[in-house]
A and B are shown apart, each in its own frame.
Chain A
Amino acid sequence: MTAQGAGVVLDVTGLTKQFGGLTAVDAVDFRVQERQICSLIGPNGAGKTTFFNMVAGQYEPTSGDVIFDGRSLRGLRPHQITARGIGRTFQNIRLFTNETLLENVLVGMHSRLRSSPVAALLRLPSQRREEAEAHARAMDLLKLVRLDRFADESAGNLPYGMQRRLEMARALASQPKLLLLDEPTAGMNPQETLAMTTLIRKVRDDFGVAVLLIEHDMQVVMDLSERVTVLNYGQKIAEGTPREVQRNDQVIEAYLGRRHKRPEDEVAGAHA
């Protein structure tokens, strides 16, 4: 928006996180353009989720900076970052299991609603109007993820695949500019995975959000991403289009180990 140049929604520079002696994320530079779908991949323990948690404000970075929408996010608490326009889902689904689907989505709107507790006690016209609009919008989002007919069901009763979709609707409810998805297709069968991939693309197209996802399913990554960044031991080892990354020697080495005997090995088997 400003000095960062047009179209850059997230600009991360030199982001580092140390846990005691362990450097989980090591001086990572990273950019996401507006309306872009980016993937963050890497072997287990590469620092992907730590990176996410720093962007979302769950962890305080040891050093480095996160510029979102032209302004630094340093020192902000997670709820303030959500208000700035970053929505997220969690690696292990974290729904409000005792609440209904509708209430889950309404909580997602928290930072976009203004009514004070006093307005709620008096049920002022402004509060009633806001609630009615919020309910309507929440139902629209539930329709988007095909869960509208379970609106009054407890979220904890939903089967796994549906819970992932509900998390997506809840994240969208905060009207984000950037959506962080932590392994959105983990544990899904191929059919569910396909549906989720389609949904992610549709969300980007319809809502104009940028999407940053962590993903282990290479099929999903290659299908969906316009840009892929690879982390290994906390360091960025490669970046580029899915094709470029697929051919990158360092990436192959990180996933499969060093090639000793047969240099003509094909990359195609990398995700098997």
Chain B
Amino acid sequence: MSQTLAPALPTASRQPNFGTLARNLFIAVVLTYPFLDLAFGWQALLAFIPMMLMITLAMGLNIVVGYAGLLDLGYAAFYAIGAYAAAFFTSPVSPLNAILPDSPFFWMQDFWVAMLLAVLVAGLAGALLGAPTLRLRGDYLALVTLGFGEIVPRLVKNLEPWTKGVKGMNPIGRPYLFDCTFGVDPCTIFGTQYKLGMIPYYYVTLAIGALSIFLIIRLRNSRLGRAWAAIRDDEIAAQGMGVNPVTTKLWAFALGASFSGATGAIFGAYLQTISPDQFEYSTSVIVLCMVILGGTGNVWGVMFGGLLIQSFDRIFAERLTGWVHKFGAATGVPAVATLLSNFDLLRSRLFIFGLCLVLLMALRPQGLLPARKRRESALIDETEEEANARHDAAVAQAGGPQ
């Protein structure tokens, strides 16, 4: 057989022990975080919930931008549509509340049903808004999505009878498990009552994030996932291979948006109020930055990028500022204390954020954890002649592999 001529490729010299250890540790921390938080008094649980929501959002956007290569600057629009769809079904201030409870569709007011409806609505909106952009590419596509990102909050503001305009919708239906409604009731577990506070939200958010990763990886390794990569790399060649660019792109928009449906529903329930200003352009940009910083096209990279940006934004900026102020006071020198008390990372967080982006794009444009590391091709160059010889030999043999 000709295979025997082929030298074995050196396998990537990973250290599986360290890798699995780090991964298991990460999973353990994430699973037990609410209790660690309580035990150590970190008080960051409320930061972690929106953080995980944003990361899930970034993974949905990654389908559109990373997998299918369609630059979407208005992703927050779908987030808004998901959040408003859930609120529309469950909020007492929603006009539906006048009709639904006594109709045969009363079950739509159930939070979990409303969340699934929000997923469907967001997915449908993704396909609808994606349709006019199908012929566009690159800059033009980005501009149109930017337009959608502006239109949706504007619509929400002005469709006051349905959305309560700038006031926003408040309150919103809460998720529940068994008899326990999240964030309100003490929960009875095995006969004992516990005041769990926001802990159930943490786990639901985590579950949705984990499920998203799971589903997204399945999609990536399917016929559709390969078609996304193909139209991203070369649309004409993809067509030549039988890929229908229209349906492939529509699936990307629809599936990408559907993940923001679930996220939006939880987000609304968690905050108990949603208003149009939560879904402005800056949200789209931050989510896009999370995708690009971590490594476009790689789920783990996106998660990593999201963790970095969000933990800085929601936890470390504040903590560091506090520490610096304390440090200044502790020196006992009034001049130093005054100087350092003016130091405020929260005020300059967008500056720091911008600076980091500039540095990253200059030094590592593919992101921190890119989709696929390109191995040096010297290895293959070397074997080309040999491969040809092998080819010729096999051809002369006229046997063939089949």
Report which A residues bind B (CB closer than 8 A). 56-58, 77-79, 82-83, 88, 90, 94-100, 103, 106-108, 110-113, 115, 117, 120-121, 123, 127, 131, 140, 143-144, 146-150, 153-154, 156-159, 161-162, 170-171, 173-174, 191-192, 194-195, 198-199, 202, 206
Contacts and interface: CB of A to CB of B under 8 A. Distances in A.
Interface string B315-348: 0000000000000000000000000000000000
Chain A CB within 10 Å — which of B225, B226, B395, B400 has the most?
B226
Contacts of A97: 233
Contact of A79 (B239, B375, B384, B394): B239
Interface of B: 2-3, 6, 9, 215, 218-219, 221-227, 229-230, 232-234, 236-245, 251, 255, 371-372, 374-375, 377, 380-381, 384, 387-388, 390-392, 394-395, 400-402
Given A83-B242, A96-B237, A202-B395, A106 B226 contact: yes
Residue among B241, B380, B392 having the largest count of chain A Cβ atoms under 10 Å: B241
A161 B386 CA distance: 12
Given A94-B236, A110-B227, A191 B372 contact: no
A153 B227 contact: no
Nearest to A57: B239
Count chain A CB atoms within 10 A of each CB in B225, B387, B390, B402 and give the residue with the most: B387
A121 B234 contact: no
B241 A82 contact: yes
A75 to B, nearest CB: 15
Nearest to B216: A121
Contacts of A117: 219, 222, 224, 251, 255
Contacts of B390: 146
Contacts of B372: 98, 100, 154
Contacts of A171: 241
B248 to A, nearest CB: 9
25 contacts: A57-B239, A78-B239, A79-B241, A90-B236, A96-B229, A98-B229, A98-B233, A98-B372, A99-B226, A107-B226, A107-B243, A108-B242, A110-B226, A120-B221, A121-B218, A140-B402, A148-B3, A149-B6, A150-B380, A153-B380, A157-B380, A159-B380, A159-B381, A195-B388, A199-B391
Contacts of B245: 79
Contacts of B230: 96, 99, 107, 110
Nearest to A100: B372
Nearest to B229: A99
B240 A82 contact: yes
A191 B381 CA distance: 16
Contact of B237 (A90, A111, A147, A206): A90
A161 B384 contact: yes
A14 B202 CA distance: 68
A146 B391 contact: yes
B274 to A, nearest CB: 28
A115 B381 contact: no
A143 B401 contact: yes
A120 B6 contact: no
Contacts of B395: 195, 198-199, 202
Contact of A153 (B238, B244, B375): B375
B2 A127 contact: no
Given A79-B239, A96-B237, A120-B219, A107 B227 contact: yes
B233 A99 contact: yes
What 3 A-B pairs come out closest when comparing CB atoms?
A111-B242, A120-B222, A94-B237
A78 B240 contact: yes
B400 A103 contact: no
A79 B240 CA distance: 6
A194 B392 contact: yes
